[in-house]
Chain A
């Protein structure tokens, strides 16, 4: 009798469809009966700014000297109707994030960092705190469906008003600040009992549609003596039409937030499956402004997944006047810092992946109302880190702009870009690298 040779076995093979993360989610859903809620933006791989490249100067274009020749970064927002437009030194703003979802220290740090760099920060659902007003030289006051903490006195203290229709993480969705984060101060600001889940409505209580919005904007202007720039923020889903309708309604500034834009707390299925990537939203919005003859007259701010100066430069080249950062700003403050790894492990996660911002247990003291955790964040040092980061974003964007021969970052243009993938080429409306082929196109 001869021995049979050992039969080779196939390797264990995971399904692409039912991958480990999917299996884990099915088990979690089976055990709890409730969808997964988390913070942050879309985590799936999406066509993004990394799929674009700048061409740089060559024989047909000449560059500017990197450390000698000026490359401007200033931007003025609200030039259409507001008596007092906002003048920013850099085209990078801090997106709306609420006191409640963030600690007072984090809000203060955002204000400090933004003010150091001459840019604006933004309130969120829940109203304006004295920390952020006091430490923000330029503060945008959000006007949200819940109107938590909304009052005319704060409205007049603001430098601009942002009417929030939606956000990129959840176009069409409202919000829920869970009871764990409803401290006495948060509860009082929102006129609600402590410890209950606070829902933020998905529609405004006293207007629907662009005709009503036009009247609402008129009211806000009348209350504030037509001084404040009025932004309209929408989650990216139908950017051409939303931009056109916001312009029709009288907005000074349009804010388009792509699906990579973060949220304090939303269903994972909403974050990952509703809305469109930031990259896909810019050209249609710019096209709407161009069709109305208002590009650069009504300013466009783009947000959702901006991480570095290349992203900033690419957004501006596609036609934005400024960008806004949220998640990246929190990381600059200290969010998901490996220094707190032991604490992240104790929460069943790891630094870099922590997204249970709604639970109020943030080891970095940012997305929490726990006094002990919040005290971990030094607002002065964190504000300095944010200023450093904003500075790097600006320097990087300038570096690229100079390489493309631009004396101002706003002189960047789609012609400076090519795409690495067919998808990105179609979304951004620029040629596939090495070809003159622009697939798709913006056909409105």
Chain B
């Protein structure tokens, strides 16, 4: 079996990075430069300085470039990302990697609410904690959180995997569809229609594969518990009204 690529380090090698300093350049300058990179271009590595919590950094990227942001980012960092690898050496605000299609987003610190919201693909790795609603309405993304996730995470999660090495807050997986949730620590409570499901070999293999892709080693995959949809609320029925 071919080992899964380590997405956390895959984009960091190669030619010298082009530096964009947000102390002097605008967010528009940054995104224009990054969005102008076509697949196959020579300049594919970018180093962003002085982000100072600005919003909408490195959004709407469409090429397999590598972006390293040195500091904290505000809302929607790497929003709607496709193909690119974005690393944030700091914390991110609300909606990091929201609606990501593909690629890899790596938050070295903590992530604000709604991390990976509605994302269709790619991987989001959060080294610290992710706040509430992590993975809300996720549609195929893989999210790995080394710390804990807040309340209402994976709310209405449709597809993809959420792997939490720490704990999960209240109402995990509320109104979940077909996303797969794995939590190593405690779950404060499960949301409507979310239940614990038995772990089988295929699930342990899936966790191992995702963790390897995230560059995380030395984790006992047997320590995780699995959660998913009871599928009891898939078709509205009046007898279930009390569940909401």
* Chain A residue with Cβ nearest B133: A205
Question: In the complex, what residues of A have CB within 8 A of residue B56's CB?
Answer: 215, 218-219, 222
Q: Which of B6-14, B15-23, B42-50, B234-242 contacts A (4 or more CB under 8 A)?
A: B234-242
Given contacts A150-B99, A151-B99, A222-B31, contact A193 B94 (CB under 8 A): no
Instruction: Please report which residues of chain A, range 132-189, place their CB below 8 angstroms from some CB of chain B when the two chains form the complex.
Output: 146-147, 150-153, 155, 176, 178-179
Instruction: Please report which residues of chain B, range 32-77, place their CB below 8 angstroms from some CB of chain A when the two chains form the complex.
Output: 32, 35, 55-56, 59-60, 62, 74-76
Question: In the complex, what residues of B have CB within 8 A of residue A178's CB?
Answer: 236
Instruction: Please report which residues of chain B, range 76-116, place their CB below 8 angstroms from some CB of chain A when the two chains form the complex.
Output: 76, 79-80, 82, 94-95, 98-99, 101, 113-114
Query: Are B136 and A206 neighbours in the complex by a CB distance under 8 Å?
Result: yes
Question: In the complex, what residues of B have CB within 8 A of residue A206's CB?
Answer: 75-76, 94-95, 98, 113-114, 117-118, 136
Would you give the 0/1 interface string for A214-227, flagging 1 where the beta carbon is closer than 8 Å to chain B? 01101100111110
Query: Are A179 and B235 neighbours in the complex by a CB distance under 8 Å?
Result: yes
Is B170 located at the chain interface by the 8 A CB criterion? no
Query: Are A219 and B76 neighbours in the complex by a CB distance under 8 Å?
Result: yes
Given contacts A212-B94, A219-B75, contact A152 B137 (CB under 8 A): no
Question: In the complex, what residues of B have CB within 8 A of residue A33's CB?
Answer: 238
Query: Are A215 and B177 neighbours in the complex by a CB distance under 8 Å?
Result: no
Query: Are A199 and B75 neighbours in the complex by a CB distance under 8 Å?
Result: no
Query: Are B80 and A155 neighbours in the complex by a CB distance under 8 Å?
Result: yes
Query: Are A222 and B28 neighbours in the complex by a CB distance under 8 Å?
Result: yes
Complex CA–CA separation, A95 to B192 (angstroms): 34
Determine how close the nearest CB of chain B comes to the CB of A359; give it in whole angstroms. Answer: 13
Instruction: Please report which residues of chain B, range 135-179, place their CB below 8 angstroms from some CB of chain A when the two chains form the complex.
Output: 136-137, 139-140, 155-156, 158-159, 175, 177-178
Question: In the complex, what residues of B have CB within 8 A of residue A191's CB?
Answer: 120, 139-140, 158-159
Given contacts A192-B177, A193-B178, contact A146 B137 (CB under 8 A): yes
Question: In the complex, what residues of B have CB within 8 A of residue A207's CB?
Answer: 75, 94-95
Is A1 located at the chain interface by the 8 A CB criterion? no
Query: Are B35 and A225 neighbours in the complex by a CB distance under 8 Å?
Result: yes
Question: In the complex, what residues of A have CB within 8 A of residue B140's CB?
Answer: 191
Question: In the complex, what residues of A have CB within 8 A of residue B32's CB?
Answer: 225
Question: In the complex, what residues of B have CB within 8 A of residue A153's CB?
Answer: 82
* Chain A residue with Cβ nearest B234: A196
* Chain A residue with Cβ nearest B178: A193
* Chain B residue with Cβ nearest A196: B234
Query: Are A32 and B137 neighbours in the complex by a CB distance under 8 Å?
Result: no
Determine how close the nearest CB of chain B comes to the CB of A206; give it in whole angstroms. Answer: 4
Complex CA–CA separation, A206 to B59 (angstroms): 15
Is A291 located at the chain interface by the 8 A CB criterion? no
Query: Are A223 and B94 neighbours in the complex by a CB distance under 8 Å?
Result: no
Complex CA–CA separation, A34 to B236 (angstroms): 10
Question: In the complex, what residues of A have CB within 8 A of residue B236's CB?
Answer: 176, 178, 197
Is A57 located at the chain interface by the 8 A CB criterion? no
Question: In the complex, what residues of A have CB within 8 A of residue B159's CB?
Answer: 191
Is A201 located at the chain interface by the 8 A CB criterion? yes
Partner of A197, one of B28, B136, B235: B235
Query: Are B234 and A197 neighbours in the complex by a CB distance under 8 Å?
Result: yes
Complex CA–CA separation, A33 to B62 (angstroms): 50
Question: In the complex, what residues of B have CB within 8 A of residue A150's CB?
Answer: 99, 118
Is B27 located at the chain interface by the 8 A CB criterion? yes
Determine how close the nearest CB of chain B comes to the CB of A228; give it in whole angstroms. Answer: 12
Query: Are A205 and B137 neighbours in the complex by a CB distance under 8 Å?
Result: yes
Question: In the complex, what residues of B have CB within 8 A of residue A201's CB?
Answer: 137, 156
* Chain A residue with Cβ nearest B237: A34
Given contacts A219-B55, A219-B56, contact A147 B137 (CB under 8 A): yes
Given contacts A147-B118, A206-B76, A219-B59, contact A152 B101 (CB under 8 A): yes
Complex CA–CA separation, A205 to B133 (angstroms): 8
**13 more CB-based (< 8 A) A-B contacts, given A155-B80, A223-B79, A225-B32:** A147-B99, A150-B118, A179-B235, A206-B76, A206-B94, A206-B95, A206-B98, A218-B55, A219-B55, A219-B56, A222-B31, A222-B60, A223-B80
28 contacts between A and B (CB under 8 A): A147-B118, A147-B139, A150-B99, A151-B120, A152-B80, A155-B80, A179-B234, A191-B140, A193-B178, A193-B234, A196-B177, A196-B235, A197-B234, A201-B137, A201-B156, A205-B98, A205-B114, A205-B118, A205-B155, A206-B75, A206-B114, A206-B117, A207-B95, A215-B56, A215-B75, A218-B55, A218-B56, A219-B55
